[in-house]
Amino acid sequence: MKLNTKKIANSYVSSLLAKPFVILAGNSGTGKTRIANKLSEFYDVKIPDYNKSLKELFNFILENNYDMNGVKLKSVSDTAVEVYNTKNKYICISFGIIQEYVDWYSEHGISGNPVRSDMQEHGNYDGQSYSWDTTHIEKIAKFLCDYQNKEIRGVYTSNHLLIPVGADWTDNTKILGYYNPLADNGTGKYEKTDVFKFIELAGANPEIPFFLILDEMNLSHVERYFSDFLSKMELLDYTKPAEKVYFDITGYGKLELPKNLFITGTVNIDETTYMFSPKVLDRANVIEFKPDMDDVLNNLFGTSSDDEEKISDPGVAEGFMQLANEVRSGTIPPEVQPILSDIKTILLSFYKELEKCGFEFAYRTVKEIRLYAIAAYKTAVGEKPTATEIADVQILQKILPKIHGNKKQIGNLLDELEKLCTEQELKESGKKIQQMKDKLNRFQYASFI
């Protein structure tokens, strides 16, 4: 899997393994969405979509011109299908009776023959169960049962989803949907979004990682549409696999926030976007994309270091999910203990300086740095990362993004942090601090992004 640089790609993987929320920030055209897509495609799994409603499934069958055991679809409505009979005319069959036959075959097997008197006694469609179109109903129901047994090809969904964020995302309905009291002729219906359905599918397949990419995440205020996720995400306890966290959704009920959902937000920095609050930055690893000048200009000739490196491969999709569970279980490998001790020494010196200006970090940050260290160690191919290398990446991704202010507020702080980076050979963090200082000198204000 080729990405822009091996270092960024591997940091992205380790960040997702440590915590399933990563922000990829940078100017437009630097490859943020590309790297997110490449990773999710690398772990792509085609999953039989058992969560399709009958309407969705019949529309799929109609679009692909499937023959349902000799029965052909003519049209699909909200509550019924029209099918052609033996005289090439069409009849209308309700979803309800089809579902009753599907339920019967699921319980007794498709080789059996439903007893019409039983269907009449226990079902809700007495007249239709005795009608001359029963043969068509049986054929359709058997076809759907075959589908449930994975015998229909092409009725699949993927374990990755890219959603462009709109400028009108002012609440969580764009993510989690809403209850529409006027739907279905006034009986009401909960309108599910693609994200909602994707979350349902992830919950039904806990052994597979599901990758949700929110493209241009800060085109709207993140806190307005994503606050539910920011809060519920902190309640996930990976040391208790059976314990679940739910969204309480008005008009629907409970929706599980599955532990196998990995969210990546891409962020453009320009005048059309909104900055992130500390609440958002504190809950994510922030990876900045800033390509070298030579890499950018070499694209003029069709060459770039983009295609030179490959990401280290933690395994197939199920292996990625297994590794994520291991990392987040809280178990520290013995060989990582001395690395964490050295990281603690580095973080202590930073904490003392940050505390003076009110930017000190807390429990969540330290915990996630620990998990990142475990992930980086487990995914390393060949030489293992040092405490200095891990601390450098995490100071860059977890601590520096929350620093912002004018020259009076952060001028001395940046000077002191730069000294620490020089003393402890934190090269990437030192480069970023220098960039922030340059911005501060030019504009009297600086922030990470």
Note the pLDDT tens digit of each residue in 172-193: 999 999 999 988 777 788 999 9
Spatial CB neighbours of 53, under 8 Å, sequence gap ≥ 6: none
Asked if 321 and 207 touch (Cβ cutoff 8 Å), the reply is yes
For 230-266, letters b (16+ CB in 10 Å) and e give bebbeebebeeeeeebebebeebeebbbbbbbbbbbb
Note the pLDDT tens digit of each residue in 253-299: 999 999 999 999 999 876 556 778 888 888 899 998 876 666 656 65
Distance CA 173, CA 49 (A): 23
Distance CA 281, CA 397 (A): 9
Arithmetic mean of pLDDT, 205-211: 93
Which pLDDT band, with edges at 50, 70 and 90, does 312 fall under? very low
Q: Coil, helix or strand for 378? A: helix
- Tell me the C-alpha to C-alpha distance, in Å, between residue 28 and each of 4, 169, 246, 303: 15, 20, 35, 19
Arithmetic mean of pLDDT, 136-155: 72
CATH class of the 1-49+155-302+313-331 domain in this structure:
alpha beta
Is the pLDDT reported for residue 194 higher than 80?
Answer: yes
For 48-81, letters b (16+ CB in 10 Å) and e give bbebbebeebbbbbbeeebebeebebeebeeebb
- The per-residue pLDDT for 239 is 87
Is the pLDDT reported for residue 156 higher than 80?
Answer: no
Note the pLDDT tens digit of each residue in 39-69: 998 898 877 665 567 787 888 788 878 888 8
Arithmetic mean of pLDDT, 296-325: 65
Arithmetic mean of pLDDT, 58-85: 86
Which pLDDT band, with edges at 50, 70 and 90, does 2 fall under? very low
Closest C-alpha to 229, from 195, 192, 204, 190: 195
- The per-residue pLDDT for 32 is 86
- The per-residue pLDDT for 155 is 61
30-39, 243-252, 331-340 — which is least confidently predicted?
30-39
Is the pLDDT reported for residue 128 higher than 80?
Answer: no
Closest C-alpha to 257, from 246, 241, 265: 246
- The per-residue pLDDT for 271 is 59
Arithmetic mean of pLDDT, 327-331: 89
Note the pLDDT tens digit of each residue in 381-432: 888 999 999 999 999 999 999 999 999 999 999 999 999 999 999 999 999 9
- The per-residue pLDDT for 400 is 95
Which phi-psi region, left, alpha or beta, contains residue 444 (left: φ > 0; alpha: ψ -120 to 50)?
left
Q: Coil, helix or strand for 53? A: coil
- The per-residue pLDDT for 66 is 81
Distance CA 96, CA 444 (A): 67
- The per-residue pLDDT for 10 is 87
Distance CA 403, CA 250 (A): 37
26-40, 291-305, 345-359 — which is least confidently predicted?
291-305
Which pLDDT band, with edges at 50, 70 and 90, does 309 fall under? very low
User: Per mean pLDDT, which of 1-15, 86-100, 199-213, 415-429 is the most reliable?
Assistant: 415-429
Arithmetic mean of pLDDT, 6-33: 87
Is the pLDDT reported for residue 125 higher than 60?
Answer: no
- The per-residue pLDDT for 322 is 92
Distance CA 162, CA 114 (A): 44
